[in-house]
Amino acid sequence: MYTEKVIAEFTNPENVGEIADADGVGEVGSPACGDIMKIYLKIEGDKITDARFQTFGCAAAIASSSMTTRMIRGMPLSEAWEFSNADVVDALGGLPPAKVHCSVLARDAVRAAINDYRTRRGLEPRETGSSRCCDGAGCGSKPEND
Ligand code: FES
């Protein structure tokens, strides 16, 4: 059911925990399953210098959180905003169709954290749009928040 990469990321996740003095924090929940993901960002200039997570969810959600925090470290905010759940799914070697929504949580949590950072700096939050399941990852599920 899960790829070896998902199992490895789930059994040995990186970047678990809180950043006490985070510059941006994003928390999202899945309407599909009730699970919750929280992502903490440290930002210097326009770059993400640290990213950590706390996730109450399934193996796919934890693997997605871990992979996402590893991938967005060092990214400029503009690039992290465009970071898609399809990027996470690819990096994990795929997810079962019923679990693609778990990777969407990671994308949404990153965007929520960036918007929190923007709000703290007196900037308008960016429009997050609908929380689409897939972004081209091909699970065939319906968008969750439309
Ligand atoms: Fe809830 Fe995966 S089933 S996040």
Please report, for the chain, the start and end positions of each structural domain, with discontinuous segments joined by +: 4-120
Average pLDDT over residues 69-73: 97
Give the model's pLDDT for residue 131.
56
Above 80 in pLDDT, residue 55?
yes
User: Which residues, judged by CB distance below 6 Å to any ligand atom, belong to the binding site of ligand 1?
Assistant: 30, 33, 35, 57-58, 60-61, 99, 102, 105
Model pTM? Answer: 0.88
Answer whether 50's CB lies under 8 Å from 41's CB: yes
Residues 4-120, CATH architecture = Alpha-Beta Complex (3.90)
Give the model's pLDDT for residue 33.
85
Give the model's pLDDT for residue 77.
97
Give the model's pLDDT for residue 21.
98
Say how many Å lie between the CA of residue 67 and the centre of ligand 1: 15
Task: For 27-53, write each residue's pLDDT tens digit.
Answer: 999 887 889 999 999 999 999 999 999
Chain-wide mean pLDDT for the chain?
A: 89
Give the model's pLDDT for residue 130.
55
| Angstrom distances, CA of residue 6 to CA of 93, 130, 131 | 8, 26, 22
Please say if 33 is a catalytic residue.
yes
Above 90 in pLDDT, residue 134?
no
Give the model's pLDDT for residue 139.
41
